[in-house]
């Protein structure tokens, strides 16, 4: 018989992905099934039943690939801040509000006012896309009844797998208002918001056994009954685990449409600006970080996909442009600074499409360095490994630019996917998270800096100065971000 596996289930925006992973880190089976969204203005919805249909199909596909292989356990991650309301029979009261649904803007103002002392101690401010303001919006718009429960995206799947409600994880509960320092729901805030405490689930740490798969789920998914279900995390934290970043001082940077950076510290960071928030890991360390509105989204907006191979080759052969670009394709910024009116700009002129493309790559890497400098200014150690993942790793030119601007070796692991991270988390129940990562994560390659930072120092400083002059970056963070700080 083949080696037993752990299952990792990743509930993304566009698809559900399931992976079967052996105890030594071999991904022996995988399947992805698409999801559909409804978007209009501030609205972004999906229906929980579609999550289950897609999950069940992906699980059946994986179990067919695995054959008679034993399943040792599973864990599920989900998009952060996505919630739904269900009744006692797991029937949804309408669609789920997805992680970037922005309808609860007024509720966010009220939540921040009522819970200001709590949020200040926890070093963040609630955003309109977070789950607690959305819970208030759902209650005020008639989606909450006496026989209902709030569930995060992975809570719904866990409940369908077990046939009953299970405890949620503290990682997904963070944006619903759960206090990770005191390990409690903020009852005084919920009461002031007129939210019934009975709506909210029990909370446990990530990686805790919370239930087992049912006979009914076996019929729909092909997963044998009585397989242990372990509490999961958000998709960003799952990707961080998959990249092998679990030791203090190490950081994971994912560049897709946006830039997401997460690291590991012994203590939560105190951020007076409310930009950084910290999840709690399965090993009780803290996982600070944030998500930027900058990233490769601007590339998709300005260039055709068919042009990218040529542009990357040209960028690989060319020299630094000297142009300072803030690469925001839309409006507003949330990390490494918060500025509702922030929008993209360039200092200097690009004389060709090729120069413009390379300048954008340099601009994204400069924001990545700024993010690391901000974290160091707030007291985070940054002397560990720096692991990268996401679609940006497909560009050799971009990876080299990032290594030179960050002045750090960039580590790329073999399977940096959230579903893989959840398989690791399930496996950690039999040892520790650090031991599971050492056993299962493999390094694919390391990209060393080839040029000194001095060749980029001028355009980086010009970018920092401009962000400060526009009032988007505070003087404290600007001072800490200049060359030599946090490098």
- Domain boundaries 5-236, CATH class: alpha beta
Q: What residues of the chain score a pLDDT lower than 70?
A: 1, 484-487
Question: One fold for both 5-236 and 244-415+452-481?
Answer: yes
> Which residues fall within 8 angstroms of residue 53, CB to CB, at 6 or more apart?
none
**Entry field: residues in the chain:** 487
CB 190 within 8 A of CB 177: yes
DSSP 23-54: TTS-EEEEEEEE---EEETTEEEE-HHHHHHH
> Which stretch of DSSP H or E encloses residue 263?
strand 259-263
Q: What are the CB-based long-range contacts (under 8 Å, 24+) for 189-195?
A: 189/111, 189/114, 189/115, 189/118, 192/114, 193/110, 193/111, 193/114, 193/132, 193/136, 194/139, 195/135, 195/136, 195/139
Question: Facing residues of 19 across strands?
Answer: 8, 30
Listing DSSP states for 405-468 in one string gives HHTS-EEEES---HHHHHHHHHHGGGS-HHHHHHHH--EEEEE---S-THHHHHHHHHHHHHHH
Question: Right CATH number for 244-415+452-481 from 3.40.50.261, 2.60.40.1930, 3.40.50.720, 3.30.420.40?
Answer: 3.30.420.40
The predicted structure's pLDDT at residue 484:
61
Q: What is the pLDDT of residues 431-451, one digit of tens each?
A: 999 999 999 999 999 999 999
In whole angstroms, what is the distance from residue 83 CA to residue 172 CA?
10
The domains of the chain are located at 5-236, 244-415+452-481
- Residue 241's pLDDT is 95
Token digits of residue 399: 């990876």
pLDDT attached to residue 329: 86
The model's pTM: 0.90
Q: Which pLDDT does position 487 carry in this prediction?
A: 47
- Spatial contact of 139 and 132, defined as CB atoms under 8 Å apart: no
User: What are 343's strand-pairing partners?
Assistant: 331
The pLDDT assigned to 119 comes to 93
Helix (H) or strand (E) holding 230: strand 228-230
Distance (Å, whole) CA 428 – CA 436: 5
- Phi then psi for 365, rounded to 5 degrees? -65, -35
| DSSP type of residue 180 | T
């Amino acid at each position: 018989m083949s080696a037993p596996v752990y299952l990792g289930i990743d509930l993304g925006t566009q698809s559900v992905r399931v992976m079967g992973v052996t105890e030594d880190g071999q991904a022996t089976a995988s399947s992805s099934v698409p999801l559909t969204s409804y978007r209009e203005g501030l609205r972004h919805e999906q229906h929980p039943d579609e999550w289950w249909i897609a999950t069940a199909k992906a699980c059946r596909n994986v179990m067919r690939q695995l054959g008679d292989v034993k399943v040792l356990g599973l864990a599920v991650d989900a998009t952060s801040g996505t919630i739904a309301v269900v009744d006692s029979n797991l029937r949804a009261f309408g669609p789920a509000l997805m992680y970037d649904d922005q309808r609860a803007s007024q509720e966010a103002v009220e939540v921040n006012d009522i819970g200001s002392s709590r949020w200040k101690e926890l070093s963040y401010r609630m955003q309109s896309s977070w789950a607690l303001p959305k819970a208030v919006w759902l209650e005020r718009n008639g989606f909450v009844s006496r026989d209902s429960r709030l569930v995060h995206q992975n809570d719904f799947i866990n409940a369908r797998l077990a046939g009953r409600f299970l405890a949620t994880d503290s990682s997904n509960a963070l944006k619903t208002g759960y206090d990770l320092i005191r390990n409690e729901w903020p009852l005084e805030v919920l009461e002031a918001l007129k939210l019934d405490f009975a709506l909210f689930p029990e909370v446990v740490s990530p990686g805790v056994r919370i239930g087992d798969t049912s006979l009914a789920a076996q019929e729909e998914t092909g997963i044998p009954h009585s397989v242990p279900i372990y509490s999961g995390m958000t998709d960003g934290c799952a990707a961080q685990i998959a990249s092998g970043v679990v030791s203090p001082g190490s950081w994971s940077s994912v560049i897709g449409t946006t830039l997401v950076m997460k690291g590991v510290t012994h203590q939560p960071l105190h951020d007076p600006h409310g930009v950084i928030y910290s999840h709690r890991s399965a090993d009780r360390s803290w996982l600070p970080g944030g998500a930027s509105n900058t990233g490769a989204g601007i590339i998709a907006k300005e260039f055709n996909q068919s042009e990218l191979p040529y542009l990357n080759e040209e960028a690989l052969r060319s020299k630094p442009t000297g142009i300072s670009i803030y690469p925001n394709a839309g409006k507003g910024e949330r990390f490494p600074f918060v500025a509702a009116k922030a929008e993209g700009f360039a200092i200097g002129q690009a004389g060709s499409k090729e120069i413009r493309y390379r300048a954008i790559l340099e601009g994204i890497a400069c924001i990545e360095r700024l993010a690391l400098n901000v974290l160091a200014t707030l007291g985070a150690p940054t002397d560990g490994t720096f692991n990268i993942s996401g679609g940006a790793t497909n560009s050799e030119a971009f990876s080299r630019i990032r290594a030179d601007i960050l002045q750090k070796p960039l580590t790329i692991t073999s399977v940096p996917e959230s579903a893989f991270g959840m398989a690791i988390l399930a496996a950690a129940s039999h040892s520790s998270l650090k031991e599971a990562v050492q056993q299962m994560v493999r390094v694919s390659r390391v990209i060393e800096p080839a040029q000194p930072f001095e060749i980029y120092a001028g355009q980086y400083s010009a970018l920092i100065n401009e962000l400060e002059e526009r009032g988007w970056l505070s003087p404290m963070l600007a001072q800490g971000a200049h060359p030599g700080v946090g490098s």
